[in-house]
Structure formats: C-alpha cells, structure tokens
Chain A
Amino acid sequence: MTVTTDWRRKLNPVVRDIPPSGIRRFFDLVSEMKGVISLGVGEPDFVTPWHIRESCVYSLEKGYTHYTSNHGLLELREEIVRDMEGNYKVSYNPLNEILITVGVSEALDLAMRALLCPGDEILIPEPSYVSYAPCATLSGARPVYLKTSVENGFQVTPEMVEKAITPATKVLLLCYPNNPTGATIGRGQLLEIMEVVKQHDLIVISDEIYDKLTYTGKHTCIPSLPGMRERTILLNGFSKSYAMTGWRVGYAAGNPDFIEAMKKIHQYTALCAPITGQSAALEALKNGRSQMNNMVEHYNRRRRLALQAFEEMGLPCFEPGGAFYAFPDITGTGLTSEEFAGELLKEAKVAVVPGNAFGEQGEGFVRCAYATSVEELSEAFQRMRRFVRRRLGRGKVLTGSFGKPEPLKEGIFQTL
C-alpha cells in the first residue's frame, strides 16, 4: 500500500506562506521567450576581470582546495579592513570583527537570524530588494515598511523612522545606493536619521553592496558616522563592484559579540565561504581597483544614456545616483507596472522588472538595469520608445520637473 505524504501540510507554515519573489514570476515568463533584450539583469555585464580569474586558477594549481577558518581567510579579512580604513576611515579588528560569508545574501540572513526574535519589528524602506522582508519573516520578525517615494528621492527620512518606531522595533535596514531605485542618500540626511536611531537604541543593518557604484556625490559609510560603528552591522561583498556575482563572497563587519553570534549560525550551516571565491576576492581587493573604476565609469556613461533615452520617450525617470538601475515612472501609459512589463515583453521583446516586485511603493515604475552594452541598450530603448509612443497619454497627465511627456522627436539611439 502506498501512503502519499501531503508535503504542503508538513511544511513550516512560515516558509509555506512566504510568497515567491515577484521577479521569479516574471523570470518564468521571460525564460520561455527567444530574442529578448534584457534590462532585467541585476548584475554586471562584465565578466570578472581576467587577473582575478587567473589568480583563482593559480590558487587551485597550488592546492588551495580546503576549508578555511569559519571567519574566512585571515589575509582576506585583513585586506577588507585595509580597504575600509582607506575608503571610509573606519577600523575593524580582522580577528573578530569581520566574517566572510557566502555573498551578502548569507550575511543578511545571518544578521537577521542573530538579531531578530519572534515579535520583533524591523524597519525596511520600500521599494526594497526582494530578500529583505522574507529574511525578516523567516526569523520570525515583522517587517515594517518605510514608504519612500519619488517625491523625496526614495530616501528614508528621520520623520518616517520616528513615526514607524514601536516598543517592538529593533532594527533599521538601509541600502544606499539602492536596488531598485538607484537612490543614494547624503551624509546630512543620514546624520539626522542616525540621531533617531541612537535615541531609540536601534541597530542598523547597512547593506552597502553598491557603495563603489556611486556616481553623484560621495558615499557615506554608516559606521563612519559618530557613534554608529558600535550599533551598525555592515554588509558588503564583491558581486557588484568587481563583477563577481557567481563567486558568492560577501562579508559582515561589526561588534565582535555580534559577529560571534553570526559565526555560530554560519559554522552550523555554511561552515565557510568557498576558498576559491575567497582567493579571487583577495586578488580583487589587492589589484582590482583600476579595473573596478573602469567598470564604474562605463556604468556611469550608460546611466546618462538611459536617462536621456527615458526623457526622449516621455517617461519621467528619477535620476539614480548609484547602483546600475533606472526606475522610470510608467503611469503615463495607463498600465500597471506588471501590465507594462508584460506587454513590453510580448510586443517589443524587452524585459524589464515590474516595480511592484519591490513592494507596493514600486507600483507605477519599472526597473531597468543599464549594466548592458551600449549596443543592447540602444536596441532596447528604440523598441521601448516605439512601445511607449503608442500608449502615452492614456494614464495620468505628467507634469512638473519630474514629468515631461514630450518630446518624441528623433531619439538619441535613432542613429545606431
């Protein structure tokens, strides 16, 4: 006799009830189509610089194939500390204040699990990267959204934080430059927010994965602000700045007791980050700065092209100061963000990510990654332009400095 197990009933209800990522739903749709130009890819189009790949091959030849310390290679931790001291004048002890993780994704999960208890609240700006809220939920905590909007530059304000705080609030999560909006935040604004954080004794989880991809102004590293080093857990990694997404190397920096707590979970789950990735990351930090700067310069040039193209096609676009995403407002077309992305995909074969995949506040926008060659961008924007031209004016009237529905004259990419 065969007994069928009802797996759905057996599942942990917390996991069962987490909805799948909005991006994943869209991915299933896109993956069935051919000839699609993708602006949906949240990773550099550059392959990891050759000298980094080559150093990894060399490390394998030399037999570096074993476990590392749970904390990660000491040499890598020391190099990370030097890098942060050089960039932000923040010092950490490589022995007990740095933990190498399997990408920032693992660092984020560890930080939340080490910090949050059932019933705790964590403040998350919205629109936000798709993993933040589910990670909090998996820890048993309740995500509370700080609803940012284009009018305030998708920036969290001290008032928003103050208003959202309850006795259960424990953590404020920040990610600037931001995915999906590309928003950055100034030091002055951060100082004001940090006053509220200190006043209410909150902990900050700062995801600084896009720190090097800052085009306007200077990135402020949150632990470098007065009194913030001791109440911040900083997360960073190599995926975006060194084009190393597939290597899965990230790190956390913070208070030694807290790093120790994260390490406990890390050692019982991942044990350590892969040594090949760690070897490559070490080379990236030691000798990769000029290659990284070169890639950042390319992104910046493409950013300007993207902004110009959206202006010409009549889609108001918030000016991203960092990361590699543009977040144009598509409400003028009368379509929801899912309808826009779906129809654009079917009709023009251009993949963008619907803004609502990043939460309610992303509705009315789509995320377009410009980490793609100028040639591909050119073709994608030409297709989008034709698509948008047929629909503009069906939605709300766009006015003001942010909204410019005209002109539809000869586009910047027309000649290519």
Chain B
Amino acid sequence: MKEILEILQADGRLTPRQIATMLNRDEAEVAATIKDMEEKKIILGYFTLINWDKVKGERVSAIIEVKLSPQREVGFDAIAERIYRFPEVGSVRLMSGSYDLSVMINGRTLQEVAYFVSNKLATIENVISTCTHFVLKTYKYHGTILDDAEEDRRLVVTP
C-alpha cells in the first residue's frame, strides 16, 4: 500500500497497470487497493503541482498565524471548521507554540487577502489576534523544488 502511495504521490497520472508492472504485482490487485484507499479517504484526490510563479496573472498567498481562545468541549475544532470552509482558505493546521492555527489563504490581490483577514477571519468569535505573512516566493512545495536547478545535465550518450 505504501509503495503505491509513494508512486502516486510522485506521479498521479500512472495507471494501475503501470504501477502493477513497476511493483511486480497483479493489475487487478493494484486497482482494488487504490479504490479501497480512495474509499477510506487515504487518497483524497489527484492534483497537478503547478508553479504559479511562472504563470502570468495576479495571485497572492499568505500564511496567517491565528491565536484563539479554545471553546469548551470542542477545543479549537469548531473554529477551525468555520475557517476552513471559506473557499479562499488553502490549508488550516493546529500548531504548537506561540499561536494556534496556521491558515494559508490564496487571493488575487493584496486587498482581497487583507479584506478576508480583517472582515472574515479576525471577526470570528474566539479569534484573539492574527498575524499575516505574505508569501514572496515559493522555492519548494509538496516535496518538489520549484526552480530548474536539478535539470538533467547528463550527456546524451555515455559509456
């Protein structure tokens, strides 16, 4: 199972047949394992990793540190849920340390992000404070280095 996940994480386009060949397994068995992992929500989706810095058009990302006062019985979960339901929110993580939630959001402009933080996020009850960090450049994402530093520099034919 772990091997299949590793292969799919590196390239989600590979077919069960190709994965079965790579792992010397039966195709039907691989297809069934993938389906099972999808049903169990281990595999949640198949994405394309894009370097948005290379795409023309406006796009702003920010990481927001959010301090909360936890709610009785549900702790941070209920507020986290209120936050992650916003479509502009890319990720929400509960953190240890000097703040509680790390919220990543994507917008078209700086103003759009500022509006979301001041009018949507900061106004939620139990949110004590926010600290917004705009992303200036992404170097590595999802385990992939986003510049061209490690291109294939080998000769075309070698002994």
Residues 125-152 of B at the A interface (beta carbon under 8 Å): 150, 152
Residues on A with beta carbons closer than 8 Å to the beta carbon of B14 = 374, 416
Question: Bound state CA distance, A23 and B156, in angstroms?
Answer: 11
**B157–A353 touching, CB < 8 Å:** yes
B154 contacts A304, C-beta separation under 8 Å: no
- CB pair B156 A27 closer than 8 Å: yes
Report whether B13 and A416 are in contact in the complex, using a CB–CB cutoff of 8 Å. yes
CB < 8 Å: which of B13, B22, B156, B159 contacts A305?
B22
Is A399 an interface residue, CB under 8 A from the partner?
Answer: no
B157 touches A40 (CB 8 A): yes
B22: chain A residues within 8 A (beta carbon): 301-302, 304-305
* Contacting pair A351 B156 (CB below 8 A): yes
Residues of B within 8 A of A30 (CB): 156-157
Q: Which residue of B23, B152, B156 contacts A45 across the interface (Cβ within 8 Å)? A: B152
Interface of chain B: mostly helix, strand, loop or mixed: loop
The interface residues of chain A lying within 8 Å CB-to-CB of B17 are: 412
Determine the interface band of chain A, counting residues with CB < 8 A from chain B. Answer: 20 to 34
CB distance from A194 to the nearest CB of B (A): 28
Residues of B within 8 A of A129 (CB): 159
Say how far A226's CB is from chain B's closest CB, in angstroms: 34
User: Given A374-B14, A375-B11, A412-B17, is A301 in contact with B156 using a C-beta cutoff of 8 Å?
Assistant: no
Across the interface, do A27 and B152 meet the contact criterion of CB distance under 8 Å?
no
State the Cβ distance, B1 to closest chain A Cβ, in Å. 15
Q: What size tier do the contact residues of chain B reach? A: 10 to 19
Mark interface residues in B1-42 (1 if CB within 8 Å of A CB, else 0): 000000100010111011001111000000000000000000
- The answer, yes or no, to whether A5 is at the interface (CB within 8 Å) is no
Are A301 and B23 in contact, CB atoms less than 8 angstroms apart? yes
Cross-chain contact of B11 among A31, A131, A374 (Cβ < 8 A) = A374
Shortest Cβ distance from A351 into chain B, in angstroms? 6
A402 at the interface (CB under 8 A from B): no
Is A258 part of the binding interface, using a Cβ–Cβ cutoff of 8 Å? no
CB of B74 within 8 Å of the partner chain: no
Pairwise interchain contact B11-A23, C-beta atoms closer than 8 A: no
Given contacts A375-B11, A416-B13, contact A304 B21 (CB under 8 A): yes
Q: Are A41 and B21 in contact, with the CB atoms below 8 A?
A: no
A4 at the interface (CB under 8 A from B): no
Cα A43 to Cα B156 with chains together (Å): 10
Q: How far is the CB of B57 from chain A (nearest CB, A)?
A: 27
Question: Across the interface, which residues of B come within 8 angstroms of A47, CB to CB?
Answer: 150
B158 in complex: contacting residue of A23, A305, A413, CB < 8 Å: A23
Q: Shortest distance in angstroms between A190's beta carbon and chain B's nearest beta carbon? A: 25
A271 interfacial contact with B, CB 8 Å: no
Give A40's nearest chain B residue, CB to CB. Answer: B157
Which residues from chain A contact B156 at a C-beta distance below 8 Å?
27, 30-31, 36, 38, 40-41, 351
Top 9 A-B residue pairs of the complex, sorted by shortest distance between their CB atoms: A40-B157, A301-B22, A27-B157, A38-B156, A308-B21, A30-B156, A42-B158, A41-B154, A304-B21
Q: Can you spell out 26 A-B residue pairs with CB atoms less than 8 angstroms apart? A: A23-B157, A23-B159, A26-B157, A31-B155, A31-B156, A36-B156, A38-B154, A40-B156, A41-B155, A41-B156, A43-B158, A130-B159, A301-B23, A304-B21, A304-B23, A304-B24, A305-B18, A305-B21, A305-B22, A308-B21, A374-B14, A412-B17, A412-B21, A415-B18, A416-B13, A416-B14
